[in-house]
Amino acid sequence: MNHRRAITAALLGGALPLAQAARAGSAAPSRRGPALLTLSGPALTRANRGALDPALERLFVKHQVSFARAFEFDAAALQALPAVEIRPTLEYDEQPHRLAGPLLEQVLAAAGVAPDAPVQLTLRALDGYAVQVALADARRWRMVLATQLDGRPLALGGLGPQWAVLDADRLPAFRDKPVKERFSLCPWGLYHVEARAG
C-alpha cells in the first residue's frame, strides 16, 4: 500500500482493520459469524485473532488450552474451502454415510501450516476428548474436516459442528478393524486443533 492510500484509509476509518490484519499476520477476511473452529500453536504462520481471554473463553480454559494468537474459522470460511466427500461406514448405526468438508491439511494450510511440515496435531472435541495425529498421517489418510453428513450441516447435539474423520472403509490401516474401533483418531464435536512441531 502506498503512502497516499495509507493516509486515505486512515482518514476514512480504515486504519484499525488494516492494523489488526497486519498484527495478525494474515490477509484472511474477518469472520462474519461465530468461530466454529480455532487453530493454534507454534506451527501456524498466520493468525486472525489475538490471545485467549480466560475470563470469557471458558471451554478453552476448562480444556487447559492457551494461546497468544490463533486462526479462527466461521461456517462461511470453512465452506469457502474446496470440499471432498467420503462414504465410511459409521460405528453408530453401522451404515455408510456421506461426509463432506475440506481436507484437514487444507484447513491447516489456510493458517499457514506447510503441508509437508513435521507437525503434530492435537484434535480437541467439545467434550474434552483429544487425540494426537501427525500431519503426515492426516495427509496420507486424507483426513476430512467434515461439516456435512448426508447433505446436511453437522449440528451441535449431534456430531458437529465439525468432525475430523477418515474414510476408514478404504484405508488398509483401518478397514480390517471392527467398525467400533475404526474412529478412535476421529473426534466429533471438533472445535480446536493445536499444531506443534514434532
Residue 110 structural domain: 31-197
- Average pLDDT score over residue span 113-124: 95
CATH for 168: 3.90.420.10
- Which residues, in sequence order, are bridge partners of residue 188? 163
Res. 16: pLDDT tops 80: no
Res. 186: pLDDT tops 70: yes
101 shares its domain with 47: yes
37 shares its domain with 20: no
65 shares its domain with 12: no
20 shares its domain with 67: no
151 shares its domain with 192: yes
44 shares its domain with 18: no
User: CA dihedral defined by 177, 119, 60, 190, rounded to 10 degrees?
Assistant: -40
User: Mean pLDDT for the chain?
Assistant: 87
How many whole angstroms from its chain centre is CA 42?
15
Number of folded domains that form the chain:
2
137 shares its domain with 50: yes
DSSP code string of 95-128: -B--EEE-BHHHHHHHTT--TTS-EEEEEEETTS
7 shares its domain with 54: no
pTM value? 0.84
119 shares its domain with 180: yes
3 shares its domain with 58: no
Rounded Cα distance, 111 and 126, in Å: 21
6 shares its domain with 80: no
Neighbours of 5 (CB within 10 A): 11
11 shares its domain with 64: no
User: CA dihedral defined by 141, 146, 152, 153, rounded to 10 degrees?
Assistant: 180
Question: Per-residue pLDDT tens for 21-66?
Answer: 333 334 455 668 999 999 999 999 999 999 999 999 999 999 999 9
